[in-house]
Structure 1
Amino acid sequence: MTVSDQQGTVVGGKSFAAVAINCAAKAGEWIKSKLGNYEKLDIKYSAHDLVTEVDKGSETLIKRLVLTHFPHHSFLGEEGVEPGPEASARALEEVSEAEYLWIVDPIDGTTNFVHGFPFFVVSIALAHKGEVILGVVYDPMRDELFIAEKGKGAYVHGKRMSVSQEDSLKTSLIATGFPADLDYALPLNMKGLQALAPQVRNIRSGGSAALHMAYVAAGRLSGFWEIGLNSWDLAAGALLIQESGGTVTDTLGQPYSLGVRNVAASNGKMHQSFLDALAAADAVK
């Protein structure tokens, strides 16, 4: 796997970036080996929200490795939180005062993994006093590792990333998702989809928010929005985009923070038009 040659922020002789890369690579390798070979499928929040023992095993692996190197750090992983938006918000609140917080989605795109659709990633972020300082998104099927450190840029295949140049909706390729919350988030997202589809070049939905965010950072997508996401879906990808020159806000245009659930991310050049179109469709909250 090719990654940037940055050494990363070091504490006690240990590089945060090196640990995150190692965790993502090991988890990704294990997940890939389990493709088509998982044993148990469970439903979490709704029939659209799935979990396997592979998700849980990946999170356990990452948590063990992180805490081996940084035993005093805090850890927030998707599989350690009860399903549903209230539980997610509560879990984030409980660790909001942590000096260092690792935020992990062990498989973002579990439904894809279950069906053998090769669009899923490991997402690992590190926040310092509530601000994301490191983000890693690893796609094991393409062996692509996206990494960003605060103030140091974002990289894929060891090359610096930059967002795309589209400056209007009509030339933009946008992505979104179909939320598991069928009562609130999905109807709002569908409003936005219906409004934006005629205004943009096209819309994609790959089923992994973290990979969509990485693709915005890499210039492969002009923008991405979705209602009802969680900190582990967004934290790493948000830093990737910011360090690639893009913009990440909530759907109302407020700056990104770990508490954001309704996200709008873009190359920045068409961001206001993007937000305006969502607002006009009453698809923002």
Structure 2
Amino acid sequence: MARSALMNIMVNAAMKAGKGLIRDFGEVENLQVSRKGPADFVSVADKRAEKIVMDELMKARPTYSFLMEEGGAIKGTDGMHRWIIDPIDGTTNFLHGIPIFAVAIALERNDEIVSSVIYNPVMDELFTAEKGNGAWLNNRRLRVAGRKHMSEALMCTGINSQGRALDALQLRQLAHITPAVSGIRRSGSISMDLAWLAAGRFDGVWEAGLKPWDVAPGLLLVKEAGGFLTDFAGGNDAVAKGEVVAGNEIIQRELLKAIQAVK
């Protein structure tokens, strides 16, 4: 698979950060049994991974803007491009020694996501997408699953269940959707959820209360794998609203109906 110069920059940044995270992940597993626990260590690992990604991208494209989970916004000078970065999407998994997390990077050009990388360093799975060039897992072209019935579909969502109004709404959605589908999973990493949807492992994904760096990297992967992704209103503001409803054409439409039926 031939990659553009921009994609090579993104892949190199993600993989460089990933090498450090593999080492840090081993330390987190050891810290699980300590009295202090791994929380402080993970915060350091998060910031270190983000700095590696930012340094690599800035070195290659010094005029681009940044939006990062840890470092916030940095305004560039070219007025067209913005990197959107989550150095560890799935921080709680990382914290508990669960190997489902990713370095997630998206490139936005004139408010449109045009390139994405989601890299799970423990599983060594590199998901990439460029507008018009498809979605890929390592060197394999991806397509969303072709299931047509909700009763056959494996869904994925994310619910914190901490008593907030949004959590209560999502629990009502869960109660409404669960009887209609074959199963529901909660992985703890929305970037991985959307990457696995693109790979056909999940049939549908829905979640709200997200940030731009949660949504942007996976959005293009889903679309380039032939999938559909909207906000809860069925519109194209998923990144801004922090809402995701995704699947193939049929499943996404049925899942959206089910979500909209819950108040």
Does TM-score exceed 0.5, indicating one fold?
yes
Relative distance call for 1:180 and 1:121 in structure 2 (3 A) is farther
1:76 counterpart letter in structure 2: L
User: Structure 2, unaligned stretches of length 5 or more?
Assistant: 32-37
Q: Percent identity?
A: 37
Are 1:23 and 2:13 an aligned pair?
A: yes
CA-CA distance at 1:269 after TM superposition: 1.9
Q: 2:205 corresponds to which residue?
A: 224
d(CA) in 2 for partners of 1:147 and 1:217? Answer: 10
Q: Write the distance in 1 (CA, Å) between the matches of 2:48 and 2:153.
A: 38
Note the residue ranges of structure 1 that are not aligned, 5 or more in a row.
9-14, 43-49, 82-90
Q: Which residue pairs with 1:41 in the alignment? A: 39
Residue range with higher mean Cα deviation, 126-135 or 264-273: 264-273
User: What is the letter of the counterpart of residue 199 of structure 1?
Assistant: A
1:179 deviation in Å? Answer: 3.7
Superposed CA offset, 1:107-129 (max 9, x none): 00000001001100110000001
Where does 1:42-121 land on structure 2 (aligned, <5 Å)?
A: 52-81=43-72, 98-121=79-102
**Partner residue in 1 for 2:247:** 266
What is the distance in 1 between the residues matched to 2:63 and 2:229? 30
Letter in 1 for 2:24: K
CA distance in 1, matches of 2:239, 2:178: 28
User: Are the aligned partners of 1:249 and 1:256 in contact in 2 as well (CA < 8 Å)?
Assistant: yes
More displaced stretch, 149-158 vs 174-183: 174-183
Q: Distance in 2 between matches of 1:201 and 1:244?
A: 22
The answer (yes or no) to whether the contact 1:216–1:224 under 8 Å persists in 2 is yes
> Which position in structure 2 is the counterpart of 1:206?
187
What residue in structure 2 maps to residue 7 of structure 1?
A: 3
Is the contact between residue 42 and residue 94 of structure 2 (CA under 8 Å) also seen in structure 1? no
Q: Which has the higher helix share?
A: 2
Partner amino acid, structure 1, of 2:256: L
Task: Output the CA distance in 2 between the equivalents of 1:259 and 1:128.
Answer: 15
Q: CA deviation at 1:196?
A: 0.8
Q: CA deviation at 1:37?
A: 2.0
1:7 CA displacement: 2.5
Q: Secondary structure at the match of 2:179?
A: coil
- Does structure 1 retain, via aligned residues, the 8 Å contact 2:151–2:181? yes
CA distance in 2, matches of 1:257, 1:174: 18
196, 210, 221: which is aligned to 2:177? 196
Paired positions, count: 254
Q: Could you report, residue by residue, the CA deviation over 1:232-276 in whole angstroms, capped at 9, with x for unpaired residues?
A: 011110000000000010011112453131111112221121011
For residues 181 and 103 of structure 1, the distance between their equivalents in structure 2, rounded to whole angstroms, comes to 27
1:107–1:121 CA contact under 8 A, matched in 2: yes
Matches of 1:128 and 1:180, distance apart in 2? 35
1:57-80 Cα distance to aligned partner (Å, 9 max, x none): 100110011000110000111012
Secondary structure of residue in 1 paired with 2:27: coil
Superposed CA deviations along residues 162-188 of structure 1, whole A, max 9, x for unmatched, are 000111211100000124874233222
TM-score using structure 2 length: 0.91
* SS of structure 2 residue aligned to 1:122: strand
Aligned counterparts of 1:256 and 1:202: Cα–Cα separation in 2: 27
